[in-house]
Structure 1
């Protein structure tokens, strides 16, 4: 690990000022991803601004009839919060499937949104990686790419986003609140928070320099009864998803009146299936419609040499997640 300056921000103003005065500084929350990357010499900030102690650790009701999650609250406290578990069980289920209890006790909500890819070419500094070093090439494009993207990738990067929490937030339709360097707030729809790689794969999000995540706003809960988070992985714990599916259904009088659906580990960002959500609305929650929804979801998939299995796995995962969501309290 390279030497760095540590700044313990006493308040938000100090944090923003420190970040605004040093473009090579990083905010430090729980550090569960950032510190690993620094140890591997992938991330090289010359200053860490500690923000985990800032006063963004509450869960409160918001004006939209939903909940607002403080960005500095840890994942365990969030997932096990009574109102999150009862009103947003899809989010709780996704968060509790991630990592380990020890990591969830450290990782912050804001930091979870900023997780970087687990692509082995990104972590291995001897290999080419446009995300780590722009212009060096993408080692995974024609290399070992069984774990990589089937949607939204470019010839610059085929990495996938690793978070479980973010897949559920995409399905729910969250909004991220950030503070800009001048102290003013900015709201970002969750589908706009993360980026596809395009020609700038080094940029994971649409955050501007110095912006600090302060809250995640959840809309009015509609998937409290019918929900399921399916995480398909190589082993039952301590593993990232090969494919994940977050499914939420609102059902009235035997008809789907609203659907929330997103895939994980298939793209550079959580892959929200907006077209499929629209298709399911007004349909009966049955096998035929779920299979049609899966087919619609996968029609634009573009697998690489080694990850063709993800197309079938994701399609079957969608059917299973929707079925489990429907049967949960049916």
Structure 2
């Protein structure tokens, strides 16, 4: 027995690695080739919605993919991908004969934080909902094993703090290289790590026996590119890898339960510790951000909070 996950067949962890690298590879394809992005996040979902998902993700199916949460999460992730592509590539010639870009409009820059906040809020609601089930000894709900406890409340609060610390969206830029990535300089490592800890705790709490994939692998699939491939584009990486994974799950719902299962230990202590780390990291982030806002007399709705940090400066330098 492991601490977080039960020790399983080595082949399952090999499959886990394959999933991680496949997500990163398809994310890169969608990032560097606009035609691939349109195919992956527009054409394929339309075909799947018509011909596949009504069967594989039907309400009440034995693998739990037919819940409201899966359907909402699928289309909200896809909306993020397509919205970010619009920010990157949509342009037009105005009456003044000049070329205008969508990302130049301040109202358009409100879309990334809005879709991000909505996605976090969906998960926060689910954590509170799992607590309301009252499964203090664990049980199966909607064909997924879960256990209710204080960890749901702790992590729900962590998610709310994560929403409140989203900042600096009016500083979003489009990179000057050929890939034209959506860069958010004020979304520095501190927020990303706090998000990762919160989101992993959410998957561990609410999709427990699927969390090795939809939590651990999926978060690494967007965090690794953020630090080592294209810095500053975390939200773009996150939206694309999330959409890729959830489309796969909607299509092959038996994957995490039958084909390559990596179940958790179902140990209440593990749930508590994971959610405690998520809560403490987000409290620390909120306190640090509030300190910076007060001492620098910043407006968190308009100003960039971390513009004087090295992390911010490196991202700006690489993409302007």
TM-score for the superposition, normalised by structure 1: 0.32
TM-score for the superposition, normalised by structure 2: 0.33
Higher relative contact order (CA 8 A, sep 6+): 2
Task: Determine which structure has the larger helix proportion and give its number.
Answer: 2
Task: Determine which structure has the larger strand proportion and give its number.
Answer: 1
